[in-house]
């Protein structure tokens, strides 16, 4: 059986600072598996749908082995994980709570990594074309020219096979030569997307507008079917051409906000696949994102359906 959801992107090892403040003073780090699209694949599994991950890892370094065993342990289909012996596993460090107390900062060591060598040959049209949803983010096309080509091939394959395309803008400025390049690269991809996750910073960069209304209308005007604007502690809004929904954020203690967006996206698409309404899917996605920020690491606190229900019926 082909997986319900197929994702494409780089799996990374995350070293999360055990103490808050500038990294130069942190001496202890905790190791986690991360990477936006890997997290979405794991999230979908936690909610008992099936998922598969297209990525590249190294298996002769300990971090590559760690990623493979984690992803397998979570039940994500690993048949499309290519072993690349030529390049190391990408890693990053998380600086927490500084300089903005409620935020984290990512410091990447991933240039030339196995994941950045993703290429069109890694995308099997038969495998991807049999999924219900394909998900990737604005990170993958920023990794390299070959990863951009892989993204384009995956998007075209999905579109040609009526696989819904889900995309999180996730603009990471340090990965791009310039922000203009990010906009020029991402806008044509977004024009083919069915479900778009974004936030006010990315939306205003992509569309050059500032109000929520203009952002929603702008993306719908590009042909996106469902636009979801994630606004952190201010909740989220979703819009289609005929419907709007909004959900308040859950007040939670923020240990580390990284990974919230992927929990949100994974939960939203899993909920839609289960036939839930726009409004219910949005509420569940906000809860999932809120739960993930309460712990360090992107994937450990990804919730099951029951975990989400516990926050709805409490
Ligand atoms: O969304 C969280 C991701 O950004 C994090 O896990 C790291 O994938 C990552 C990236 O490339 O920024």
8 A C-beta contact, residue 51 and residue 41? yes
Tokens found for residue 206:
């992509």
Instruction: Give the chain's length.
Output: 314
Mutate to test the pocket of ligand 1, among 258, 264, 266 (most ligand atoms within 8 A of CB): 258
Distance, CA of 213 to CA of 229 (rounded, Å): 10
**121 compared with 313, residue with greater pLDDT:** 121
Mean pLDDT of the chain: 97
Ligand 1 neighbour 258 (Cβ under 6 A): yes
How many angstroms does the Cα of residue 259 sit away from the middle of ligand 1?
Answer: 7
Q: Which residue in 21, 100, 34 sits closest to 296, CA to CA?
A: 34
Ligand 1 neighbour 138 (Cβ under 6 A): no
Distance, CA of 205 to CA of 186 (rounded, Å): 11
Distance, CA of 76 to CA of 4 (rounded, Å): 11
- pLDDT surpassing 90 at residue 313: no
Q: What percent of the chain has pLDDT over 70?
A: 100
- pTM to 2 decimal places: 0.97
- pLDDT surpassing 80 at residue 59: no
Q: At what angle do helices 212-221 and 200-207 cross, to 10 degrees?
A: 60
Segment 179-234, tens digit of pLDDT: 999 999 999 999 999 999 999 999 999 999 999 999 999 999 999 999 999 998 89
Nearest residue (by CA) to ligand 1, atom 3, is 36
Q: Which residues contact 210 (CB under 8 A, 6 or more apart)?
A: 204
Beta bridge partners of 52: 6, 77
Q: What percent of the chain has pLDDT over 90?
A: 96
Provide the pLDDT for residue 314.
64
Mutate to test the pocket of ligand 1, among 11, 36, 143, 259 (most ligand atoms within 8 A of CB): 36
Q: How far from chain centre, in Å, is Cα 2? A: 21
How many angstroms does the Cα of residue 34 sit away from the middle of ligand 1?
Answer: 7
Beta bridge partners of 164: 133
Nearest residue (by CA) to ligand 1, atom 6, is 35
- pLDDT surpassing 70 at residue 163: yes
Closest ligand 1 atom to Cα of 9: 8
Distance, CA of 184 to CA of 208 (rounded, Å): 13
Provide the pLDDT for residue 123.
98
Sign (positive or negative) of CA dihedral 41, 42, 44, 50? positive
How many angstroms does the Cα of residue 238 sit away from the middle of ligand 1?
Answer: 23
8 A C-beta contact, residue 135 and residue 179? no
Tokens found for residue 119:
């290429």
Nearest residue (by CA) to ligand 1, atom 7, is 35
Three-state secondary structure readout of 31-64: EEEECHHHHHHHHHHHCCCCEEEEEEECCCCHHH
Instruction: Return the active site residues.
Output: 262
**Mean pLDDT throughout 143-147?**
98
Distance, CA of 171 to CA of 190 (rounded, Å): 13
Ligand 1 neighbour 298 (Cβ under 6 A): yes
- pLDDT surpassing 90 at residue 31: yes
8 A C-beta contact, residue 263 and residue 271? no
Segment 113-125, tens digit of pLDDT: 999 999 999 999 9
How many angstroms does the Cα of residue 43 sit away from the middle of ligand 1?
Answer: 14
Judging by DSSP bridges, how do beta strands 104-109 and 91-96 pair with one another?
antiparallel
- pLDDT surpassing 90 at residue 142: yes
Please give the DSSP secondary-structure letter assigned to residue 249. Answer: P
How many angstroms does the Cα of residue 170 sit away from the middle of ligand 1?
Answer: 8
Q: At what angle do helices 62-73 and 36-46 cross, to 10 degrees?
A: 30
């Amino acid at each position: 059986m082909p997986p319900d959801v197929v994702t494409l992107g780089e799996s990374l090892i995350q070293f999360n600072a055990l103490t808050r403040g500038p990294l130069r003073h942190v001496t202890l780090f905790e190791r986690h598996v991360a990477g936006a699209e890997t997290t979405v694949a794991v999230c979908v599994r936690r909610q008992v749908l099936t998922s598969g991950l297209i990525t590249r890892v190294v298996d002769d370094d300990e971090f590559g082995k760690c990623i493979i065993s984690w992803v397998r342990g979570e039940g994500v289909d690993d048949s499309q994980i290519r072993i690349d012996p030529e390049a190391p596993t990408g890693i990053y460090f998380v600086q927490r709570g500084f300089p903005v107390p409620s935020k984290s900062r990512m410091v990447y060591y991933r240039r030339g990594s196995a994941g950045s060598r993703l290429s069109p040959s890694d995308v099997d049209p038969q495998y991807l074309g049999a999924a219900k949803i394909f998900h990737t983010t604005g990170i993958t096309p920023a990794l390299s020219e070959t990863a951009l080509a892989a993204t384009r091939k995956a998007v075209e394959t999905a579109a040609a096979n009526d696989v819904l395309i889900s995309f999180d803008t996730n603009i990471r400025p340090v990965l791009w030569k310039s922000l203009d390049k990010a906009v020029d690269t991402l806008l044509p991809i977004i024009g083919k997307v069915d479900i778009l996750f974004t936030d006010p910073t990315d939306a205003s960069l992509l569309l050059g507008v500032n109000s929520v209304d203009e952002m929603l209308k702008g993306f719908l005007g590009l042909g996106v079917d469902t636009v979801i604007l994630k606004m952190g502690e201010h909740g989220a809004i979703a819009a289609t051409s005929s419907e709007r929904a909004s959900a308040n954020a859950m007040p939670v203690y923020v240990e580390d906000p990284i990974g919230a967006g992927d929990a949100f996206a994974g939960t939203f698409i899993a909920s839609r696949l289960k036939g839930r309404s726009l409004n219910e899917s949005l509420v569940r996605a906000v809860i999932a994102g809120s739960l993930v920020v309460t712990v360090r690491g992107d994937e450990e606190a990804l919730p099951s359906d029951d975990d989400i229900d516990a926050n709805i019926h409490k």
